[in-house]
Amino acid sequence: NPENLIGLVRYRTHVQKVGWQQYVQNDILSGTVGKGLRLEAIEIKLTGDLAEKYDVYYRVQAQKFGWLGWAKNGESAGTSGYGYRLEAIQIQLAYKDTFAPGSTKNAYRKK
């Protein structure tokens, strides 16, 4: 951290048949292991100095939907209720209050 900013990256996932899990941070696993359950959605946010200086943008590719719109700062990205898996995720850090890297429409689809 070259700017000596204090803060964490926090995230949680929506798991098939389980729902939203609790937020975890910095390298902690989110999801399940060995249960054959799909990740369907994710939320990512920053805390502390990081949240004051940056926005975190992210989007996912969801099974049968393809790439969805960009979410930011704790918004949901993905699907729930369909049983569709996340196939990819793209994350970008941007200075606060700059433009999104692309469309923010339809970042999350709930059945």
Q: How far apart are CA 12 and CA 41, in angstroms?
A: 9
* Residue 1 domain-assigned (yes or no): no
Judge contact between 62 and 86, C-beta under 8 A. Answer: yes
- The parent domain of residue 84 ranges over 9-110
* Residue 57 domain-assigned (yes or no): yes
Residue-level pLDDT at 26: 86
The H-or-E segment that residue 86 falls in is strand 86-95
Q: How far apart are CA 103 and CA 56, in angstroms?
A: 15
pLDDT in tens, 21-78: 999 998 899 999 999 999 999 999 999 999 999 999 999 999 999 999 999 999 999 9
- Higher-confidence residue of 27 and 108: namely 108
pLDDT band at 4 (very low <50, low <70, confident <90, very high): confident
| Total of domains in the chain | 1
Q: How far apart are CA 76 and CA 58, in angstroms?
A: 9
pLDDT band at 2 (very low <50, low <70, confident <90, very high): low
* Residue 4 domain-assigned (yes or no): no
3-state secondary structure of 48: helix
Across the range 101-105, mean pLDDT stands at 96
Structure tokens at 36: 């054959």
